[in-house]
Amino acid sequence: MPDITMIETDRLQLRPFMETDLDALANILARPDVMEYLYEEPRTRSEVAAALEQQMAMNHLTHQGDNLMLAIQERASGQMIGSANLIWRSQQHQQGEIGYTLHPDFQGHGYASEAARAILRFGFHDMGLHRICGVCDERNSRSRRLMERIGMQQEALLRQVEWVKGQWVSHTIYAILRSEWESNQA
């Protein structure tokens, strides 16, 4: 797969991260409400700067295991409002995994669904994947509802599967097959 320059939707641009995203990304990742269901605690600006360096290099899917990290930018304002990613889980079995994070001020407007649908389209249409899954903390009802809205089906609940932030956490796994995605596009 070539490096990704831009995925566009009606209201969004999904693009590789840039150094100029530091302030917006730090504003997102410093928030306890954003980090509540993620592995890390709210991050400091220096921690975000280090993470941004890594994310800027994640602009391709060349090998199984690669993680494509894209900034979600609102087209009208040019503001970076979150991130979306696609992990190439298996080349042989044509599997991927989707993820997303959105600043709370931009939640409830369909931006996360629009970005996630664009990532699914890229995974199925451009990469030829057969199946894309999503995994979230079972308590994260917003993420579960989003995956259902974009056509994913719950496949599993892994009870108390990981020790995170001092407690056992259960994960819900959702997935969609390319044939289901194609049917939804018709």
Question: Quick one: pLDDT at residue 5?
Answer: 77
Question: Quick one: pLDDT at residue 3?
Answer: 55
Local confidence band at 185 (pLDDT 50, 70, 90 cut-offs): confident
End-to-end CA distance of the chain: 26
Angstrom distances, CA of residue 18 to CA of 21, 33, 140: 6, 24, 29
Q: Across the chain, how many H-helices and E-strands are there?
A: 6, 8
Local confidence band at 186 (pLDDT 50, 70, 90 cut-offs): confident
Distance in angstroms (rounded) separating the CA atoms of residues 41 and 44:
9
Distance in angstroms (rounded) separating the CA atoms of residues 100 and 86:
9
pLDDT tens string 64-98: 999 999 999 999 999 999 999 999 999 999 999 99
Neighbour tally for 28: CB within 10 Å = 24
Average pLDDT rounded to a whole number, residues 9-15: 97
pLDDT tens string 53-65: 999 999 889 999 9
Neighbour tally for 146: CB within 10 Å = 22
Local confidence band at 174 (pLDDT 50, 70, 90 cut-offs): very high
Question: Quick one: pLDDT at residue 148?
Answer: 97
pLDDT tens string 109-149: 999 999 999 999 999 999 999 999 999 999 999 999 999 99
Question: Quick one: pLDDT at residue 1?
Answer: 53
pLDDT tens string 23-51: 999 999 999 999 999 999 999 999 999 99
Strand partners, 34: none
Q: Which amino acid is at 127?
A: M
Cβ(97)–Cβ(86) below 8 Å = yes
Mean pLDDT of the chain: 95
Angstrom distances, CA of residue 178 to CA of 28, 30, 101, 120: 32, 36, 23, 9
